[in-house]
Structure 1
Amino acid sequence: MSETEPHPSSRDAALSRRRLLRAGMSAAAALPFGFAASAGRAWGPGPGAPFDPGPLCAPAAATEAATGALRPIKLAWNATAICTAAAPVAKERGIFARHGLDVEFVNFGGSTEALLEAIATGKADAGIGMALRWLKPMEQGFDVKITAGLHGGCLRLLAAKAANITDIASLKGKTIAISDQASPAKNFFGLLLSDAGVDPEREVEWRQYPADLLNLAVEKGEAQALADADPRTWIWLKDPRLTEVATNLTGIYATRSCCVVAVRGSLVRNDRAVAGALTRAVLEGGHRVQTDPADAAAIFANYGGKGSVEDLAAMLRSQTHQHRPVGADLKREIALYGDELKRVNVLRKTTDTAKFAERVYADVLS
């Protein structure tokens, strides 16, 4: 042995230390993002952080998946709403199965209130829908828990160029076409009107039409503007006679989630591991929507989504699928929406929105 060659025992010790270091680094890489900072949180988004939907240990549902047993789950969604694309992506790309779930979709096209009722009454186990539609029924006691935010941006307010509506304030005295009087679009743009000093109940008229005919109401002059969701509004914006006045990413709402994941209350209480696995899977689906919107658009199109794959992908890129709040971040957003909905007389003035957010949110990820 040369004088410069390390002794075998020293070499073995060094190798052992390197193996231990590598093992420690691998274990650290396996930890979900945010675990070191908050041991009670299985996953949390952060600026520039890589997405890691997995918990420290595989949930019970995922353990069952390894043995071939998948847990049947019914997920309610609106198959006409492009913003719910995380669900079919999670199904078609095997994400649900990897989380131990055999997911059956229950379609409630056009009515998120009916979708929420289906979850509350046990016809579905969970669903994806709009917070601004669900918070009022949840205030009234629906046994449904919000477990994650999914993205922001899918509502648009369009106006006839001929009406010279250049901003929210210039809607004063105008008629806005909507699909129904409790729609998320009405609730949200009512908030913007209030912020702009326009009374959304007395100084504008909300006129109801069938959802697919809102643009015709503006074209005929029966309304000067319309408020609805993608994909309709994105497609209507191609009409050179229409202009976009605002979206639900306007101003302070740019960092808010509009669509949320909600789970049947009894499932959260009785099978929290499954509720957590479902929430993680949908969040992972949302991450794939963000990173590959073209693939998500192609999948959604196969489920009957309106518009070309190119249009659908452009819609997804315009939305904030990187914004998927959970925990304290999501509870803060719920409380803010609650305060704002009180201001436009959707929620009761007496509702304590901090307590309300605490009650309707369930942490199933820690």
Structure 2
Amino acid sequence: MKHLSKIAGMTLAALALAGALTSCSKKQVANSAPEQKVVRINYQTGNLCGAPVHVAWKLGLFDEELAKIGQKAEYVVVVEGGATLAEMIASGKVDAGYGLYATQLQAIENGLPISFTSGIHIGCTKYYVRADSDIQSVADLRGKTIGVPGLADSAVMNLKRKLMDVGIGVTAENNEVEFVAYASADLAIALNNGAVDVIGAHDPVATKGELAYGFRKILDTGTDEKFVKEYCCQQFVTHKLLSENPAGAAAVTRALQKAAAYVEAEPRAAAQLQIENDLVAGDLDFNAALLEELNYQPSRSLGKKTFDAAARQLQTAGILKKTTDIEKLIEQGYIELFGVPDGYIYDSATKTYKEINGSRA
């Protein structure tokens, strides 16, 4: 009996030891399990043409693409009057996002660590004069004062390229126009009061100003022959994300391409989503009409052609430095990610996405 008790005691002790070892083993496995990767994506409120980011977020496209590779998304708001997008990128608070590519060209030249991965939409910048102005076209802007949202804004970069085409000087050695920065909300007032001769603004501010004051449009990047196949807003990823998590970079690019294709096919649904989620205010009919006017068909190949053309012309204008290796800037500033198609088309009837592969003309 004592012998059996001794054996039972030894067995219980062994089981207890095994249980303890198993528990330790489980803790070690748990402690050694890799932390789930997170991709931090920028967004803005009040930004109508930022619809693809809002759609990719609220329809779960970012989550869906990242979940396929065991990752997740976090969303970082860029607040007007706070840190700029470039500052947030430089401080490591944003991994990927979307914005006006031309606004970041000089920053990239100066070391901002991002690369663009796809064109997202065409045409959201418009230039206006007062109805009684004698200015009829860009060719009449020599000696004029132009109000813009910022001196490095894409509204400046685009107009300088157009001015070069018509022979008006924009270089430091031969500058024949003056740009003045105003808060976006003040641009229409500045033009109406005569403080400037022209304004360049992004929608919805541009169209609201036109309707409120009866301004006359002299240039629209959505219809002008120079810009009609150039993307104003593009997807970017940081170099840190590219080096540490290229699969995450590809996932968020695919998601935003899909979201852009959705906006192209369903502009009213996209506008409603923005309003219902308090991401953009305004009238549904007005917002939907503006989204429908813009071209949201995404394309990586046309996005790169845009970047290439702008970089070369802006270097000629002296906005990018003459000493910059432009080929290297283009090669590093715009990249092709493995697993990312040229773009997508959204089929509203079947609610499915079709990949577009191969370069678009």
Counterpart residue number, 1:78: 44
Counterpart residue number, 2:109: 139
1:113-170 CA distances to partner (integer Å, 9 max, x unpaired)? 9213322432011111111011111111222121111111111111101112211111
Instruction: Name the larger-Rg structure.
Output: 2
Q: What is the distance in 2 between the residues matched to 1:93 and 1:156?
A: 30
Q: What is the distance in 2 between the residues matched to 1:245 and 1:294?
A: 28
Does the residue aligned with 1:129 lie in a helix, a strand or coil? strand
In structure 2, runs of 5+ residues without a counterpart are 1-34, 340-361
Residue 109 of structure 1: CA displacement?
Answer: 4.0
Among 313, 319, 326, the residue aligned to 2:288:
313
TM-score, length of structure 2 as denominator length: 0.76
2:56 corresponds to which letter in structure 1?
A: A
Percent identity of equivalent pairs: 26
The alignment status of 1:263 with 2:229, answered yes or no, reads no
> Residue 235 of structure 1 contacts residue 307 of structure 1 at CA under 8 Å; is this kept in 2?
no
> Residue 118 of structure 2 contacts residue 304 of structure 2 at CA under 8 Å; is this kept in 1?
no
Q: What is the distance in 2 between the residues matched to 1:319 and 1:86?
A: 12
Q: What is the distance in 2 between the residues matched to 1:212 and 1:222?
A: 15
1:43-192, aligned counterparts within 5 Å? Answer: 71-99=37-65, 100=67, 102-110=72-80, 114-192=84-162
How many residues of Structure 1 are paired with residues of Structure 2 in the alignment? 296
1:22-66 CA distances to partner (integer Å, 9 max, x unpaired)? xxxxxxxxxxxxxxxxxxxxxxxxxxxxxxxxxxxxxxxxxxxxx
Residue 194 of structure 1: CA displacement?
Answer: 1.6
> Residue 335 of structure 1 contacts residue 356 of structure 1 at CA under 8 Å; is this kept in 2?
no
TM-score, length of structure 1 as denominator length: 0.75
Residue 236 of structure 1: CA displacement?
Answer: 1.1
Counterpart residue number, 2:258: 284
Counterpart residue number, 1:332: 305
Q: What is the distance in 2 between the residues matched to 1:242 and 1:124?
A: 38
Q: What is the distance in 2 between the residues matched to 1:87 and 1:161?
A: 36
Residue 222 of structure 1: CA displacement?
Answer: 1.2
> Residue 155 of structure 1 contacts residue 229 of structure 1 at CA under 8 Å; is this kept in 2?
yes
The alignment status of 1:210 with 2:183, answered yes or no, reads yes
In structure 1, runs of 5+ residues without a counterpart are 1-68
Does the residue aligned with 1:257 lie in a helix, a strand or coil? coil
Name whichever of 344-353 and 334-343 sits farther off: 344-353
> Residue 109 of structure 2 contacts residue 320 of structure 2 at CA under 8 Å; is this kept in 1?
yes
1:201-244 CA distances to partner (integer Å, 9 max, x unpaired)? 63222222222111111111111211111110021121353011
> Residue 125 of structure 1 contacts residue 264 of structure 1 at CA under 8 Å; is this kept in 2?
yes
Compared CA separation, residues 139 and 112, structure 1 to 2 (3 A): farther
Compared CA separation, residues 81 and 222, structure 1 to 2 (3 A): same
Q: What is the distance in 1 between the residues matched to 2:76 and 2:199?
A: 29
Q: What is the distance in 2 between the residues matched to 1:113 and 1:335?
A: 28
> Residue 119 of structure 2 contacts residue 304 of structure 2 at CA under 8 Å; is this kept in 1?
no
Q: What is the distance in 1 between the residues matched to 2:72 and 2:82?
A: 23
The alignment status of 1:300 with 2:278, answered yes or no, reads no
The alignment status of 1:235 with 2:205, answered yes or no, reads no
Counterpart residue number, 1:344: 317
Q: What is the distance in 1 between the residues matched to 2:157 and 2:226?
A: 16
Counterpart residue number, 1:5: none
Q: What is the distance in 2 between the residues matched to 1:92 and 1:218?
A: 37
1:185-206 CA distances to partner (integer Å, 9 max, x unpaired)? 1111121112111223632222
